[in-house]
Structure 1
Amino acid sequence: MNSTLDRNPVILIHGIWDTKAIFSKMSARLTQLGWCVHSLNLTPNDGSLSLDSLAKQLADYISQNFEPQQTLDIVGYSMGGIVSRYYVQRLGGINRVQRFITISAPHSGTLTAYCLSLPGYLDMRLNSDLLRDLNQDVMDLRRINFTSIWTPFDIMIVPSKSSKMPVGKEVKLNVMLHRQMVTDDQSINTLIEELKAPIKNKISLKNE
């Protein structure tokens, strides 16, 4: 097990209609095990702002709270997984994020995003402009430790297999509810193992 001294800070990014409070159990467990855990409230959290704009809030939070050379691990839940992906793939995060883990994120969109026509919902629809843009160079995520954790029973991410990705590691859990994916012991234990995983050698991936 890594010492607490060589662990990256972990940033937890919440989903739509949520706040950082949803991570209370997860954050407490990680802190108990020695991680330095951060989170922020994305505002507004109701889908009335586009996901790229929310990603800029994440980028600003990181620039304000960490030195430029500080490497990071990011965990994005639900909408927060796409917000985090935009930061990693479009706002320079790929150069400092070492472990990127999404939990029940709609990587290929979700039918539930059709209930409203707000910018954040539009971004999470199937084949949205934002998702098409991110999926063009999704293989760049091979440069870092990327993991997608999801459940086939998810009725918020429809179809649930939208949380799957063509790159990185996939962990499928039999958790019954979308919101339980950040409180269920299976999810938290899986996250801990992924945060312990050795970092890939980015140099070795240059010629892939």
Structure 2
Amino acid sequence: MRAMLVLLALAWFCEGCAMTAASLAVSPRLAPVEQRAPVLLVHGIGDDASAFDALRGRLEQEGWPHVHAISLVPNNGSEGIPALARQVAREAEALRARTGARRVDVVGFSMGALVSRYWVQLLGGRLVVRRFISISGPHAGTGLAFLGRGKGVTQMRPGSRLLRALQQDPRPWGATEVHSFWTPWDLTILPASSSRLPGASERRFPVLLHPWMLTDRRVHDAVVDVLGSPAVAR
């Protein structure tokens, strides 16, 4: 029985690899550099801007001229999600001012994905965000939040008032194109399916640990694919 479970897990893993490869194989070629929006990267709890070093380097290697990672303060979950979202809003406005861009793209990881979502939905971010990629965000909460303290941690508990307010928004995204990347193997977002985001295009990755989603090449390929795709008229 144990051997059979191992074989089934390997088969699922390989199937996931094939699905990811197939989704990337049919992607359109990247848009010219001048058509790519500036990118703002928003990290998770306990991290800072350096968490995105690998992804930022990949985007710069692919020709993105403007990639900026924010360091949220504080980063330990003691501050509430709305206050952190206001930091993201200020960074986005500063990025737009520096580059002269009308809209920006946003990639949020873990708690940073939830912070970015709050900004997009409830603080006017959808007016200036072209594409939003959530990577392993606790959009329906995570059971691990019951083990921690702090305003932000409490707001990441399943069924929290903040999560209910986000879920009840009838038109959350406006013209913003939204994508959800997640792994069914996640042991930080519990259950892992909490990373699914209503109304988002979805991609699953067979990545074994939550933090590895920021360093996995397949995830990087998908970020490049989404952010570099030619804009679709809306």
Q: Under a length normalisation based on structure 1, what TM-score does the superposition of the two structures give?
A: 0.92
Is 1:42 aligned with 2:107? no
Alpha-carbon distance between aligned partners in 2 of 1:4 and 1:196, rounded to the nearest angstrom: 8
Alpha-carbon distance between aligned partners in 2 of 1:138 and 1:18, rounded to the nearest angstrom: 32
Residue 212 of structure 2 is aligned with which of 151, 176, 180?
180
Deviation of 1:91 (Å) = 1.3
Structure 1: gaps (5+ residues) = 203-208
Residue 9 of structure 1 is aligned with which of 22, 38, 42?
38
Deviation of 1:197 (Å) = 2.8
Deviation of 1:141 (Å) = 2.2
1 or 2 for the larger relative contact order (CA 8 Å, sep ≥6)? Answer: 2
Residue 29 of structure 1 is aligned with which of 44, 47, 58?
58
Which amino acid is the alignment partner of residue 152 of structure 1?
P
Which amino acid is the alignment partner of residue 144 of structure 2?
T
Residue 163 of structure 1 is aligned with which of 192, 195, 208?
195
Residue 75 of structure 1 is aligned with which of 96, 99, 107?
107
Alpha-carbon distance between aligned partners in 2 of 1:187 and 1:10, rounded to the nearest angstrom: 16
Alpha-carbon distance between aligned partners in 2 of 1:138 and 1:166, rounded to the nearest angstrom: 11
The alignment-based identity, stated in percent, is: 40
Deviation of 1:194 (Å) = 1.1
Q: Residue 141 of structure 1: SS of its match in structure 2?
A: coil
Q: CA RMSD in A?
A: 1.5
Which amino acid is the alignment partner of residue 19 of structure 1?
D
Which amino acid is the alignment partner of residue 37 of structure 1?
V
Deviation of 1:166 (Å) = 2.3
Alpha-carbon distance between aligned partners in 2 of 1:87 and 1:200, rounded to the nearest angstrom: 23
Match of residue 11 from structure 2: none
Q: Under a length normalisation based on structure 2, what TM-score does the superposition of the two structures give?
A: 0.82
Tell me which stretches of 4 or more aligned residues in structure 1 moved more than 4 Å. Answer: none
Residue 154 of structure 1 is aligned with which of 177, 182, 186?
186
Q: Residue 11 of structure 1: SS of its match in structure 2?
A: strand
Structure 2: gaps (5+ residues) = 1-29
Alpha-carbon distance between aligned partners in 1 of 2:199 and 2:116, rounded to the nearest angstrom: 16
Which amino acid is the alignment partner of residue 27 of structure 1?
R
Measured against aligned partners, the alpha-carbon deviations of 1:14-44 in whole angstroms (never above 9, x if no partner) come to: 0000011011111001001111211110000
Larger Rg: 2
